[in-house]
A = this chain, B = another copy of it.
Amino acid sequence: MTQLDAVHASSSREQTMSRRPAAREEARPRVLVVEDDPSLAVMLRYNLEKLGYQVEEAADGQEALLRVAESAPDLLLLDWMLPSLSGIEVCRQIRRRPQTRDLPIIMLTARTEEQDSIRGLNTGADDYITKPFGMEALAARVRALLRRAQPQASGLRQFADIVLDGTEHRVQRAGRPVHLGPTEYRLLEFLMQHPRRVFSREDLLNAVWGADIHVEARTVDVHIRRLRKALNAPGEVDVVRTVRTAGYALDLEPV
């Protein structure tokens, strides 16, 4: 028992890093309400909390950006008209930063404001709803957006200093961008789904190429080599472990 625990403990070090997005997922989704009218804000908070969301508030555009940056909510409910910084401007700034590019935003607009101009103008919002609105309508939009956004969150995979962004199809190692061909990308993607685990060439062919495609087993070697070449900068440890007669694994310890 003690031994097993020891092994687990030593090997779970990196896992805690890669588990971060999952930990947040467990909690209720957090909605940031940006609304300068206090009575409306209170109403929104009340209803959203009843629906099971955590609610944070911001009264103007400046505060909104601040809160988005530091508490990374899962969804933004954004009033169109705001003091200090208009809703459109907030939207634009949020879209500009890579960390918040995919944050779902719902705009709250007054009926008088022309909907066409909102729709036509590229605000960057994902959805909008005109005031006054019913709570069911809002709830439906919130649910839909959160559901859509969810996979994006888990599209991010991390192992050691390697980050694979599934939605952007992008790979980094130690912050530096890494260019991979399509096959190498899928290969890495698959290996990152089961870090440390050893896969035979046949496993990899099935998973990366497809079960019904016939390709020489040795071809895997070549792609592993290309993956290594792209991933390992001079001086860095090789992240691909070769296990003789067994296959390959994504791993730090070469032995």
Contact = CB atoms under 8 A, between A and B. Distances in A.
Contacts of A255: 177, 179
Interface stretch (A42-50, A64-72, A73-81, A243-251): A243-251
Nearest to A8: B202
A151 B122 contact: yes
B163 A3 contact: yes
Interface stretch (A51-59, A209-217, A232-240): A209-217
Contacts of A6: 175
Interface residues of A, number: 70
Given A7-B217, A175-B10, A246-B182, A167 B121 contact: yes
Given A121-B155, A137-B211, 13 more contacts: A3-B216, A4-B158, A7-B163, A8-B202, A89-B147, A120-B155, A120-B166, A121-B167, A136-B212, A148-B206, A148-B207, A168-B197, A169-B198
